[in-house]
Amino acid sequence: MAASAMKGAMGLRTSISQPIAFVGKIPWTTASSVLREHFAQFGHIRKCTAPFDKETGFHRGMGWIQFSSQAELQNTLQQENHIIDGVKLQVQAQRAKVVKGDQTSDEERGF
Amino acid sequence: MPQWGRPSMAALLRPAGWLLRAGAAPRLPLSLRLLAGCSRRPRAVPRAGVLLSQTRLYAIAAEKKNVLQEEPPFASRRNASQFDWALMRLDNSVRRTGRIPKTLLQKVFESTCRTGSPGSNQALLLLRSCGSLLPELNLTERTEFAHRIWEKLQKLGTVYDVSHYNALLKVYLQNEHKFSPTDFLAKMEEANVQPNRVTYQRLISAYCNVGDIEGASKILGFMKTKDLPVTEAVFSALVTGHARAGDMENAENILTVMKEAGIEPGPDTYLALLNAYAEKGDIDHVKQTLEKVEKSDLYLMDRDLLQVIFSFSKAGYPQYVSEILEKITYERRYIPDAMNLILLLVTEKLEDTALQILLACPISKEDNLTNFGSFFLKHCVTMDMPVEKLIDYCKKLKEAQMHTSPLQFTLHCALSAKKADLAMALMKALKEEGFPVRTHYFWPLLVGHQKKNIQGIVKVLKGMQELGVDPDQETYINYVFPSFDSVKSVRAVLQENGYLPESNTFSEAELRSEAVNGNLDYILSFLESNKSPFPLSSLRGSLILGFKRSMDINLWSKITELLYKDGRYCQEPPGPTEAVGYFLYNLIDSMSDSEVQAKEERLRQYFHQLKEMNVKIPENIYKGVRNLLDSYHVPELIKDVNLLVEREKIDPRKTVQSTSADLESTLERLKAQNQPAGDILKQLILVLCSEENMQKALELKEKYESDMVIGGYAALINLCCRHDNAEESLNLKQEFDRLDSSAVLDTSKYVGLVKVLAKHGKLQDAINVLKEMKEKDVLIKDATVLSFFHILNGAALRGEIETVKQLHEAIVTLGLAKPSTNISAPLVTVYLEKGDLTAALEAAIDCYVKYKILPRIHDVLCKLIEKGETDLIQKAMDFVSQEQGEMTMLYDLFFAFLQTGNYKEAKKIIETPGIRARPTRLQWFCERCIASNQVETLEKLVELTQKLFECDRDQMYYSLLKLYKINGDWQKADAVWNKMQEENVIPREKTLQLLAQILRNSNQEVPFDVPELWYEEAADSLSSMPVSPTETNTEKDVLKACQIKKSKDAYNSFLKAQRLNIVFNNETYISLIKLLLSKDSFTEAMQVKDFAETHIKGFTLNDAANSLLITAQVRRDYLKDAVAVLKTALNQEQVPSRLAVTRLIQALALKGDVQSIEAIQKMVHGLDSIGLSNMVFINNIALAQIKNNKVDVAVENIENMLTSGTPTVEPQFFGLSYLFRKVIEEQLDPAAEKLSIMAERLANQFAVYKPVTDFFLQLVNTGKTEDARALLQRCSAIAEQTPVLLVFCIRTSQKPGKAPVLKSLLELIPELIDKEEAYTSVMKSYALDKDVASAKALYEHLTAQNVPLNDMFLKRYAVLLKDAGEPVPFTEPPETFKFYANQLKESREKPS
């Protein structure tokens, strides 16, 4: 029981962070389809959003791209400039910082 | 002008020149002095030019500000801050762009009006802004604006003086407003305002601007009779006057006259001449004059040349513009001035010249990404420039690299301004240029027509067609359908109007809309005829709405059956059973109880039809539906749903738990069979550890040593640490290392080891553990640092100097924790505890030298003052003064004197010349006084700071009232009310509310208007007995000692009185007992209580004392006594503090005492006044059950509460954070697992997300980021629980040291950062933790997103940067935090 317990609640230890890029300074001319098109060159896109304000009909200049893997996100980030419609986007990684030390519980090891 | 001969003119002017030469004004005008510092050449009086520089605006403002500061510091504070705010906004705008946008001025104007009675300085500022700083408005509009401001402010009670009339004149001149100077003077006379020199000068300019020399000379004559000095400005005006009268010769002659009058023509005069020639198109004379100026030692600024350009182009000679442009030197200040002129030219329909100037602007084009031309294009759109011209301009700007995407930008402007025709034309141009035209370009236009303007919408849709753009679903649903009465009519109306929608997209959009409208027929036929797969999840919300709005059960069933059986819909995992089951649950859940009751029969039909159709749902979902129906009081329906349950499946998560006995027998069996038993042994040890069975676990380890694995040792080490067994834990640690020297323990286990080793004198071993932590790079969390502090503090309280020193040294030098004030405090504490003040001070100073922190300096100073250690005080003060500045030193000393009751000395300190209010420090001391109930100290603080410069009096009185409220002292509160009036303090609303509460609580009348109603609470009336002089003396001693918190003195006085058998007042004993309890002198307090009880009949402690007593008992673990005290208090109808009761309940929970908690629950039942939330009981009863190893009972209870819908607590308020945190902190891992599973189950099956979110947040909070991440991955809905997450952010940010927690939260849920509550909280936390790097990143992120940041946020960031000695990249908001907090609050109250 204890072993399964450890692997349950307290042992949620699959350390894959969400491969999401935050994109800012999106020009008004660009909607999510163009964003998707641009970022598709770096990998498979799971989700791409750039919410619109229904009161004005314009979006708010930011969006999120969720890739299916960290590697794809890294591809994206390695590209120095992301320019859409002549405007340089601000692309930020939202990967988790590399946590110091081993995150596996000591009580779980030994096999 | 023959009658105006030169000699007569000279004669007229001579005395004026003499006056000026003789220096009639002994003191330079302030504006001159200020200007001298700002621009290269001073101008005594602003000239009637087109452009007004920002420096001038600022000068006027600064001038008025100085006046203000001469007023008493507490008067007009509010106006002053409003003024500073307005000034900052306007000044910033002018500095950056050379102008004030109309909207900004409007905003400042409105906000000024809202303050009630705007000050004269604000009025001046607003009027000043209505001239050339508004280049985007035409001249008439500007003057109208000025008049509007003038009249409105007058109505609001602003009193105008001559400065306002002069400002208005200036605006008239700048706006070329035609008016009668005589009428103007009459108006001033009527208002009883005396004109001054500036008034006359400006009136002369007014005459001159229309070429009326006669009028001008009348005024001049008048000035002469009044002996007013005539300045260069008058001569310059006369140059203009003669020129505009067509007499260039005399215009030129003015210069000679000036020289004769002893005034050398300056740049202003030459500029007037230049403008005069320019207006005539006389380029030759302009050039000659320019040459003359160049040869003289005079200097024309670019701004002056821009005016000449304006004169040329306005007069119709644009051909000469380029020649003047060549002379521009492009000073630093040029760009804003040029922008101003460009806009003005566009306003004046001189856009070609505007473009010419724009293209000449020296803009860096290095990165090819500049969009400098935007302001120009935008204004062109506003001014309705013909589209052909705009497109041509766009091309030119692009060629000149002044804009990367001018057409798109112009389109954006047109769309924002809802100029549909222009937008369509621009889109055509885009298409022709080969740029894409996208669907969403049309949305702003559709939004513009959303007031049922069908024609408008059809026009846009047709326009889309023309441009070959197909509307998508979003276009229809969000921007087209809302304009129609029904979706059904859309297609027809559109067709009528000649628009045929592209079929597929349109029908899909229709489906979504029809679902919402309850048109199930349509949905069914669509689902049947639909060809492509459609995920149910995307339809669910719409379908449920549709179901609820139709009531056609046959259609319900048919659609459900279709979803269940048709291959297009639910065949993907988890399959139709689960998907449709979940759909049913959601359907019922979305209905209210009355709705379900009303539709009971139809629902029954529905379920039976489903049964007929052989639709099945899983058992667990059935249970959820059952609970719902139960809570809706329609249990009769349950059996009907039950028909649908899929029988054969069992929840796989329900696994049977094995007991230690089972495991042990398995272990023995394996050993007997000689099979590997490491796994089972480890499991067994873990179980024994969770049962706290140390002895048995150690025995097993001995017995099966060879089978021991790392995990088993780790658990054992932890167990021994918990049981304070230093020897054994050290042994185990060594065995652990022998087994695998590279193995790493969890952080908390290392900390446990350090703690137990340090406590038992194994200092070197403890340090070795710390070293290992460093070597193995163990994760250090906030909680770890806190544990370090407790270890150090424990040693300090035990007086172990070496332990404290060496451990601290090791922790800090190894880099395990930053040398914060907190963690270093024990270094001082250890000496303070021993009473060694010299060493304590040395230790504090040593900390400063090493780490730039000064721990516990306040306490050290207080002790020094108490002991009269003058030399040491001097030493401390010298040090603080040298290192942290004199002001800090003065405050330190002030607080220490106050604290120790040396009020005279405190007074002297706070009256030091030059000292000013430091709100944070004052607030810190106020809070301290409130927390320890030091009434007299706080009263003294408030009294002594009355004259303190910039002291927020309202805030001070508010703190005082808070304390009076705690003590229920309405008389003192009432006195505060009067004192505030005397002091002319305007109380804020919250202060008034607090005051009203205090008065009402004591059944007193409230002398002002406060809306809320409060329950009545009888004031404790304490009977006073007649007393003898000696009694009063000892009693006074006790009371006095109590007030200054000298518990020992107070207690000694009490003992003295006891020996003399003197009995005090009830209240005195209560005060003494409270003081003793607060100093943790429990025994003494009990002694006083016993004495009082035996000497005063019916002596009882009051609410506050009983609360303190309970807290003290809890601290000492006398829980039974504490429960008894609580019972007594409640029997006496007292209201003990929530904190005390909560502490008691929590302590009971940790002991596993369920019964006592339940007893308390009964006792306080119905006592809302304590303010105990039901959740306190739910959390702690569960915790107690868990402590009793009844995890399942706890989980079941909680789950029932949440799923049965019993209305004890609404799910969104069902906070289990405390329970979760305790379980995680106490490492009750099996319980944590079950709670986690429960939380996930509630989320997944019942859509109750609060528990799982709380659990997630507690994982984050305790640094278990990876666990949190995994949980989030399993239950992504957590990320959508924005309100819960935001509350967590806000709460967390209030505690220091929490920045890493918030950081990890944001890493996990990145989108959270864009919520205002989130980023303001995070910034607060960074500021609190002085995390400059993270704050910078946050700021950059937000500014990159163009998130509008409020002043509070900016202020926080600016102060953080400043404290770190870094430059602030923007103007720091000038007001106090308080001010912005209130501003924010106000703005939230006003829906904008």
Do B466 and B437 contact (CB within 8 A), yes or no? Answer: no
* Three-state SS annotation for B134-199: CCCCCHHHHHHHHHHHHHHHHHCCCCCCHHHHHHHHHHHHHCCCCCCHHHHHHHHHHCCCCCCHHH
Query: Which of A1, A59, A88 comes nearest B657 by C-beta?
Result: A1
DSSP state of B1295: S
Asked if A110 lies within 8 A of B712 by C-beta distance, the reply is yes
Instruction: Output the CA angle B1279-B1285-B1291, nearest 5 degrees.
Output: 160
Please, which pLDDT band fits residue B288 given cuts at 50, 70 and 90?
A: very high
- Model confidence at B1305: pLDDT above 70: yes
- Model confidence at B1359: pLDDT above 80: yes
- The interface pTM score, or ipTM, of the predicted complex is 0.76
Is any Cβ of chain A less than 8 angstroms from the Cβ of B1270? yes
Dump pLDDT digits (tens) for B294-338. Answer: 888 787 888 899 999 999 999 999 999 999 999 998 876 788 889
Predicted pLDDT of residue B797? 86
**Please, how many CA atoms are within 13 Å of residue B136, restricted to the half-sphere of its CB?**
20
DSSP state of B350: -
Is any Cβ of chain A less than 8 angstroms from the Cβ of B36? no
Which residues does B659 contact at the CB level (< 8 Å), separation at least 6?
A: B687
Neighbours of B170 (CB within 10 A): 24
Asked if A22 lies within 8 A of B1264 by C-beta distance, the reply is no
Dump pLDDT digits (tens) for B506-524. Answer: 877 777 787 767 788 888 8
Preferred mutation among A4, A6, A7, A10 to probe B, highest tally of B CBs within 10 A: A10
Mean pLDDT check: name the lowest of B198-202, B497-501, B712-716.
B497-501
Q: How many helices (H) and strands (E) does chain B have?
A: 76, 0
Dump pLDDT digits (tens) for B203-250. Answer: 999 999 999 999 999 999 888 888 888 888 899 999 999 999 999 999
- Mean pLDDT of the region B19-45: 28
- Closest among B1182, B1259, B1248 to B1219, alpha carbons compared: B1182
Closest-approach residue (CA) in chain A for B1259: A10
Which residues does B1325 contact at the CB level (< 8 Å), separation at least 6?
A: B1292, B1293, B1298, B1299, B1302, B1331
- Mean pLDDT of the region B1053-1080: 80
Asked if B711 lies within 8 A of A15 by C-beta distance, the reply is no
- Closest among A93, A84, A107, A105 to A32, alpha carbons compared: A84
Nearest CA of chain B to the CA of A100: how many Å?
A: 6
d(Cα B19, Cα B262) in Å, to the nearest integer? Answer: 10
Please, which pLDDT band fits residue B1207 given cuts at 50, 70 and 90?
A: low
| C-alpha of B970 from chain center | 34
Dump pLDDT digits (tens) for A32-85. Answer: 888 998 999 988 888 888 888 888 899 988 888 988 888 888 889 888 889 888
Asked if B778 lies within 8 A of A101 by C-beta distance, the reply is yes
Query: Which of B711, B1229, B1233 comes nearest A109 by C-beta?
Result: B711
Question: Which residues of A fall within a CB distance of 8 Å from B443?
Answer: 52, 57-58
d(Cα B871, Cα B256) in Å, to the nearest integer? Answer: 76
Beta-bridged to residue A45, according to DSSP, are A67
Predicted pLDDT of residue B542? 73
Please, which pLDDT band fits residue B409 given cuts at 50, 70 and 90?
A: very high
Dump pLDDT digits (tens) for B1211-1225. Answer: 777 888 888 888 888
Predicted pLDDT of residue B272? 95
Mean pLDDT check: name the lowest of B294-308, B333-347, B656-670, B1145-1159.
B656-670
Please, which pLDDT band fits residue B502 given cuts at 50, 70 and 90?
A: low
- Model confidence at B383: pLDDT above 90: yes
Predicted pLDDT of residue B987? 64
Dump pLDDT digits (tens) for B850-899. Answer: 998 899 999 999 999 998 888 899 999 899 988 888 888 999 999 999 99
Average pLDDT, chain B: 81
Q: Which residue has the higher pLDDT, B534 or A68?
A: A68
d(Cα B91, Cα B94) in Å, to the nearest integer? Answer: 5
DSSP state of B480: I
Asked if A96 lies within 8 A of B1307 by C-beta distance, the reply is yes
Candidate ranges B46-55, B306-315, B1037-1046; pick with highest mean pLDDT:
B306-315
Asked if A2 lies within 8 A of B687 by C-beta distance, the reply is yes
Tell me how many residue pairs between chain A and chain B have CB atoms under 8 A apart: 188
Predicted pLDDT of residue B657? 45
- Model confidence at B1336: pLDDT above 70: yes
Structure tokens belonging to residue B5: 């001969």
Predicted pLDDT of residue B209? 93
Preferred mutation among B394, B1237, B1267 to probe A, highest tally of A CBs within 10 A: B1267
Structure tokens belonging to residue B1093: 């009880």
Closest-approach residue (CA) in chain A for B479: A54
- Mean pLDDT of the region B459-466: 88
Candidate ranges A23-27, B493-497, B547-551, B1388-1392; pick with highest mean pLDDT:
A23-27
Is any Cβ of chain A less than 8 angstroms from the Cβ of B1271? yes
Dump pLDDT digits (tens) for B916-966. Answer: 888 889 999 998 898 888 899 999 999 899 878 778 888 899 999 999 988
CA distances from B163 to B193, B597, B1375 (A): 10, 74, 27
CA distances from B1326 to B1263, B1295, B1352 (A): 17, 11, 14
Nearest CA of chain A to the CA of B1236: how many Å?
A: 5
Asked if A58 lies within 8 A of B443 by C-beta distance, the reply is yes
Evaluated on CA atoms B90, B94, B97, B99, the torsion sign reads positive
Mean pLDDT check: name the lowest of B567-571, B768-772, B1163-1167.
B567-571
Asked if A12 lies within 8 A of B1267 by C-beta distance, the reply is yes
Mean pLDDT check: name the lowest of B599-603, B669-673, B1018-1022.
B1018-1022
- Closest among B59, B113, B67 to B87, alpha carbons compared: B59
Is any Cβ of chain A less than 8 angstroms from the Cβ of B53? no
d(Cα B350, Cα B379) in Å, to the nearest integer? Answer: 12
Is any Cβ of chain B less than 8 angstroms from the Cβ of A93? no
Beta-bridged to residue A67, according to DSSP, are A45
Nearest CA of chain B to the CA of A66: how many Å?
A: 12
Which strand ranges, in their side-by-side order, compose the sheet holding A90-93? A45-49, A63-67, A20-24, A90-93
Dump pLDDT digits (tens) for B802-856. Answer: 999 999 999 999 989 888 888 999 999 999 988 899 999 999 999 999 998 899 9
Asked if A106 lies within 8 A of B446 by C-beta distance, the reply is no
Do B1268 and B1260 contact (CB within 8 A), yes or no? Answer: yes
Preferred mutation among A106, A108, A109, A111 to probe B, highest tally of B CBs within 10 A: A106
Asked if A24 lies within 8 A of B682 by C-beta distance, the reply is no
Mean pLDDT check: name the lowest of B9-13, B549-553, B573-577, B1117-1121.
B9-13
- Model confidence at B132: pLDDT above 80: yes
**Please, how many CA atoms are within 13 Å of residue B378, restricted to the half-sphere of its CB?**
13
Asked if B1233 lies within 8 A of A109 by C-beta distance, the reply is no
Q: Is the peptide bond before B386 cis (omega within 30 degrees of 0)?
A: no
Please, which pLDDT band fits residue B1205 given cuts at 50, 70 and 90?
A: low
Preferred mutation among B751, B1266, B1304 to probe A, highest tally of A CBs within 10 A: B1266
CA distances from B842 to B846, B873, B875 (A): 6, 12, 10
Question: Which residues of A fall within a CB distance of 8 Å from B451?
Answer: none
Please, which pLDDT band fits residue A26 given cuts at 50, 70 and 90?
A: very high
Chain A segment 24-83 residues within 8 A of B by beta carbon are: 24-25, 27-29, 31, 34, 52, 54-59, 61-62, 64
- Mean pLDDT of the region B1181-1204: 85
Mean pLDDT check: name the lowest of A60-64, B20-24, B1032-1036, B1295-1299.
B20-24
- Give the H or E element holding residue B435: none
Burial class (CB in 10 A: 0-12, 13-18, 19+), B906: buried
Predicted pLDDT of residue B378? 93
d(Cα B339, Cα B96) in Å, to the nearest integer? Answer: 10
- Mean pLDDT of the region B623-647: 79
Beta-bridged to residue A52, according to DSSP, are A59
Predicted pLDDT of residue B537? 64
Query: Which of B678, B715, B1345 comes nearest A61 by C-beta?
Result: B1345
Question: Which residues of B fall within a CB distance of 8 Å from A102?
Answer: 744
Nearest CA of chain B to the CA of A87: how many Å?
A: 7
d(Cα A51, Cα A35) in Å, to the nearest integer? Answer: 12
- Closest among B387, B386, B318, B324 to B355, alpha carbons compared: B318
Provide the percentage of residues in chain B whose pLDDT is more than 70.
Answer: 87
Nearest CA of chain B to the CA of A8: how many Å?
A: 6
* Three-state SS annotation for B1129-1163: HHHCCCCCCHHHHHHHHHHHHHCCCHHHHHHHHHH
Question: Which residues of A fall within a CB distance of 8 Å from B433?
Answer: none
d(Cα B1196, Cα B1381) in Å, to the nearest integer? Answer: 44
Predicted pLDDT of residue B414? 94
Instruction: Output the CA angle B1046-B1020-B961, nearest 5 degrees.
Output: 60
Question: Which residues of B fall within a CB distance of 8 Å from A3?
Answer: 679, 682-683, 686
- Model confidence at B393: pLDDT above 90: yes
Nearest CA of chain A to the CA of B710: how many Å?
A: 5
Question: Which residues of A fall within a CB distance of 8 Å from B687?
Answer: 1-2
The pairing of beta strand A87-88 with beta strand A45-49: unpaired
